[in-house]
Amino acid sequence: MVKINVTGEKKVIDQQSAAQRFLAERGIRYDRWDIHKLSSAERNEDQILKAFSDEIETLKKEGNYLVADVINIDSKTPDLETMLEKFKKEHVHSEDEVRFTIYGSGIFYINKDGEVFSIEVEPGDLLGVPAGTKHWFDLCQDRHIIAIRLFQNRSGWTPYYTNSGLDGKYQPLCFGPAYIHNGDH
């Protein structure tokens, strides 16, 4: 279940419908796919793409996405920190950034016209950040994510950095499974 933290307002949104509405109002796609279509033993790219082939095909048609692949990064990934340095600086893309989380967790920060909020994604969460939206990404404490990526451009993931320095002002704090809703929002 996705969790949104609107930093400036000290507001947390962790209810499915409220999260979807908040993101839709800001032009960000959020949906849930049935993660149980995949058994816990099925972790390789072919198995993952096959399990979600119907959803991927539908999404490709909707968004003119040409290619789908699977990214799998964890603490054993060579040069993990170097890779994360590229992700965690504020940037934009000339195409949508579409990710479906299979395993693990991660945190996207979005800077939507000056309103900054984080979106913590977990297995089953589909997130679509539109082209041109300022954002950055980091792993959560478990340092592991497996996700399907969809691309409109076969050349793949190209970041254009804003060099705003805004990313350095936010800690990549994920609530994680231990997070307990405190009922005051």
Q: Which residue, 97 or 122, has its beta carbon nearer to Fe ion?
A: 97
Residue from 96, 97, 120, 138 binding Fe ion (CB under 5 A): 97
Alpha-carbon gap, residue 183 to 5, rounded angstroms: 15
Query: Considering only 7-15, 47-55, 63-71, 93-101, which stretch makes contact with Fe ion by CB under 5 A?
Result: 93-101
The footprint of Fe ion on this chain (CB under 5 A) covers a number of residues equal to 1
The residue number with the shortest CB distance to Fe ion is: 97
Which CB sits closer to Fe ion, 3 or 88? 88
**Interaction of residue 125 with Fe ion, rule CB under 5 A:** no
What whole-number distance in Å separates Cα of residue 44 and Cα of residue 98?
19
Which of 44/158 has CB closer to Fe ion? 158
Q: Can you read off the two tokens belonging to residue 45? A: 């790219």
User: Which residue type does 128 have?
Assistant: G
E strands in the chain? 3-6, 11-13, 29-32, 67-74, 91-92, 97-104, 106-112, 115-121, 125-129, 134-139, 144-151, 160-161
User: CA 27 to CA 22: how far, in whole Å?
Assistant: 9
Do 135 and 129 meet the contact criterion of CB atoms below 8 Å apart?
yes
Closest separation in Å from C-beta 91 to Fe ion = 6
User: Residue 131: how many CA atoms within 13 Å on its side-chain side?
Assistant: 12
Choose the binding region for Fe ion from 6-14, 31-39, 59-67, 91-99 (rule: CB under 5 A): 91-99
Closest approach, Cβ 8 to Fe ion, in A, equals 22
* Least spacing, CB of residue 135 vs Fe ion, in Å: 6
Output the smallest distance, CB 15 to Fe ion, in A. 26
Give the interface with Fe ion as residue ranges (CB under 5 A).
97
